[in-house]
Structures are given as structure tokens and as C-alpha cells.
Amino acid sequence: MTSNALFYQAGAELPLISHAQGIYMWDTLGKRYIDGCSGAITCSLGHQHPAVTAAMKAQLDQVAFSYRTQFESQVAIDLGDALVALTEAQLHKVFFVGSGSEAVESAMKLARQYFYDRGEPQRQRFVSLRPSYHGSTLGALGLTGYEPLERPYEDLITPSVKVPSPDFYRFKEADIETHVEAVLSQTEAAMAAQPEDSIVAFVLEPVGGASTGARMLNKRYVEGIRTLCDRFGCLLIMDEVLSGLGRTGEWFAWQHWGVCPDILVLAKGMGAGYYPVAGILAKGDLVDQVQNQGGFMHGHTYAGNPLACTTGLAVIRAMQNEGILDNVRELGIYLRQQLDQLKARYDFIGDVRGIGFLQGVELVQSQGSKAPFPAEFNAFSKITAIAREKGLLIYPRRCLNGVEGDHFLVTPPLNTTRAEIDEMMTLLDQALAEFSRILP
């Protein structure tokens, strides 16, 4: 491959993509890959889904773009109504944007303007977890708890109040219940230490993503955070950019615990990799407060454009017509069983965690010690490179504040079959076997 003008993150030269179909992708040399991570946990219906591509082509024959202050779009209205229905009308209003980071910043700005319009301009602080990931733009980066991403921009961002995330793998207390109570106690103390009535919102991922390796919460913790938000008079924002739209076996991960946020953030799975579309859903009284004071002082050029909304609506309808949630519930259990079997075979797999088709595998020196590999070994990049060579794509990161604690995500398209999971696991087993031979 010749050099080109593009630059992203530093790394090895990558293959050129040729085409894709279902869970499979091919490079220009003809090599086939299994998309075991849905790209960036995005392609939730795989590649070339006929209903989605047909809807997009039909929309292109009508109009691709219209600006939200000049025209309303019926497909934007329909997509908004569809999303509200998926929340069982617990959230009532929708605002569309183009990406996850934009959606997180939209949620932050809506929450802030809500209090500003209520005559509480002193509410300027957000609370979020460490580790966590909420985006790479400066506002969202201020919420993110992942040191390598924060370090170059520390003097530019406004950091949130960081509180510890529950860790059901490395907790030190006698049991998980005691651990959760300890974390909630620390969180309450951190919030109480802020100036009175200064907190805008608590922001969390109901199931962790790339920065935690699918770290889980539980009902008691989420209910406890809701109680703290009510006590301190702040809002609860849930970032489901990664976990939303069916990946956990419910439309939204918060539905597993029955604790609805005040603002919900969505992206990735909304467009399923076919077109950028994202958004926030909010409770009606919150939006009414802002609308009655002149409207939300925010917006983006491509927000709610017809092609994006047609894509999002086609994705939801395909998921409903094809019983995708049932598939994730059933085969998510099967996927977890297969990963647990690999854990039983390889002592360097310390933890398998997650829910549905959002599964994380943490790598350690041994299951007994739970000690992470030395950071300089770069276990997360090595296993990913080996898997790619075998023809399997997985998604790597580090789960201990981005500094150490190697993991990878296994997050296949939501319409993946049992046979395709078996094929993925065969390749992953081969990759793990090869990885075992290069351990320090």
C-alpha cells in the first residue's frame, strides 16, 4: 500500500477495504474477515442489510438533505415517535445530531440550559465515573475518565467531578453488595463536597464500553445513583451511545433495571453503520422548560436530515420485523458460554463480563493474581493483531483508566447466528493459542 495523506492514530499499516456482506468483510487482496466487533460497536445489523439499503436508496431518490429551520421532515418525525415508543413513553422529546460526541455534548448543554432557564445558573458541574468514555470533543472529553485521552488536553477541558465506578472483578470488599454500598458512599461524599446546588447532572454508561471492557453495574447501584441525583437536585444522564438500540437484549440498557434517566444519549446503533445519526431523548417537562424560554440554544447542520432519519427508522423497523432483541437475548447467553469456555482453557483470561452482544474479555497474567500485564507489553494490541491475521476483528482498549488492564470487546452484529458465533470462537481460540506462546 502506498502512503497517503490520511492520519488517524499511529499504528501498523492496515488493509484496504473492498466490500462487505452480513458479518463478513473483504480487503482488496481477497482476504475475508469476520466483523466480531461490529466495526466500532456500530454495525448492529451487519453489512448490506437489504431493508436498510433499500430505504436509503428510496430516500435518495426524493431528498437527501433539508435544513431543520427551513423544513420539517416526516421521517424525522416518524423516527422521533419510534424512539419515544421504545422507551414506553417514559422519555418524550427527541433532538437529533450526527455523532455520539455531539449527542453527549447536546445532553450536557440541554441539562445546563434547563437549570439556567430555571434561574439556577450556579449549576455548572457534572459528575461522571472513572474509568469511562463519553466522547472525544472537548466537552465530552471533560466527562471521560481515560487518562491517555485526557492528558494532552488537560489545560483545555473543564473536567467533571470523577467518582469511582463499581468494579465487580477487582473489588476489595467482602462481596459485591458491600462493594456497591462503599462506592455509593464515596460518590455521595464527593457530591456533598461540591458547592451547594452546583451539580448539573450525573453522567454514566449503564453498561461500560470500550474504556471499561463492558464493565457492569447492577440495580442497586443504578437506583442509588438515581436517589443521589434526586437528593442533590441534579439530572441523571445515561450515555447509551454504545449500549443502546438492542445491544444488551433490551432496546436500552437502563430497561434492565427499570431506572429511567432524565436524558438518554444514543448514537452508533441508531444508524447501524449505514449513515451517521445520533440523538438525545429527554423528559417532556425538562424540554418544556427550555422551549418556553426561547428554545434550545444548540444545533448542527446535519441534525435530523432526511437521509439520516430514514436510515435510523429503517434500522428500528428491521430490528422489530426480524425479532432482533430475541436473537440477542438467546444468543447472547450462548456467546457468553463460549467465552467462558475459553476462559476455562486460558489462565490469562481473567474476566468475561457484559450482557447480550456486548461482551468484554480482560487479559491478566494469571487468574489467581488478577495482575494486569505490564503496560509496555501491549497485550491488547497484540491479541487484536493476531486475531486480525486469523481473520477476526475484535475491539481492544485498556480498562484501568486507560493506563493498564488490557481487554477486548466481542460485540458482533445483532443478527449474528449461532453458526457464525461458532466460527468466530474458532478463530478467537486460534488467536488466543498463538497469543499464549508470546506471553512475557
Indicate the pLDDT class of residue 13, thresholds 50, 70 and 90: confident
Indicate the pLDDT class of residue 5, thresholds 50, 70 and 90: confident
Q: Could you tell me which residues are beta bridge partners of residue 397?
A: 407
236, pLDDT greater than 60: yes
Give the per-residue pLDDT at 220: 98
User: Can you tell me which residue has the cell 491517555?
Assistant: 148
Name the average pLDDT for the chain.
96
End-to-end CA distance of the chain: 32
- As a whole number, mean pLDDT of residues 173-201 equals 98
Complete edge-to-edge strand list for the sheet that includes strand 404-410? 349-355, 358-363, 404-410, 395-400
Please tell me the total number of residues recorded for the chain in this structure.
440
Give the per-residue pLDDT at 4: 79
Give the per-residue pLDDT at 3: 62
pLDDT digits (tens, 9 = 90+) for 122-142: 999 999 999 999 999 999 999
d(CA 147, CA 167): 18
57, pLDDT greater than 90: yes
SS percent in the chain: helix, strand, coil, step 5: 40, 20, 40
98, pLDDT greater than 70: yes
pLDDT digits (tens, 9 = 90+) for 246-271: 999 999 999 999 999 999 999 999 99
- As a whole number, mean pLDDT of residues 288-307 equals 94
Please name the amino acid found at residue 244: G
216, pLDDT greater than 70: yes
d(CA 337, CA 343): 10
Give the per-residue pLDDT at 12: 73
More confident residue, 68 or 421: 421
Indicate the pLDDT class of residue 2, thresholds 50, 70 and 90: low
Per DSSP, 153 falls in state G
The DSSP secondary structure of 220-285, one letter per residue, reads: HHHHHHHHHHHHHT-EEEEE-TTTTTTTTSSSSGGGGTT---SEEEE-GGGTTTSS--EEEEE-HH
* CATH, domain range 54-321: 3.40.640.10
d(CA 124, CA 157): 14
208, pLDDT greater than 90: yes
d(CA 294, CA 418): 52
Indicate the pLDDT class of residue 8, thresholds 50, 70 and 90: confident
User: Can you tell me which residue has the cell 447480550?
Assistant: 356
CATH 3.90.960.10 fits 17-48+323-436, yes or no: no
* Widest CA span in the chain: 64
Cβ-based neighbours of 273, under 8 Å, separated by 6 or more? 38, 39, 42, 43, 44, 47
pTM exceeds 0.95 for this model: yes
Residue 213 backbone dihedrals phi, psi, to 5 degrees: 70, 45
The DSSP secondary structure of 338-407, one letter per residue, reads: HHHHHHHH-TTEEEEEEETTEEEEEE-S-TTT-PPPPGGG-HHHHHHHHHHHHTEE-EEEEEETTTEEEE
| Domain segments of the chain as ranges | 17-48+323-436, 54-321
Indicate the pLDDT class of residue 7, thresholds 50, 70 and 90: confident
Q: Could you tell me which residues are beta bridge partners of residue 363?
A: 349
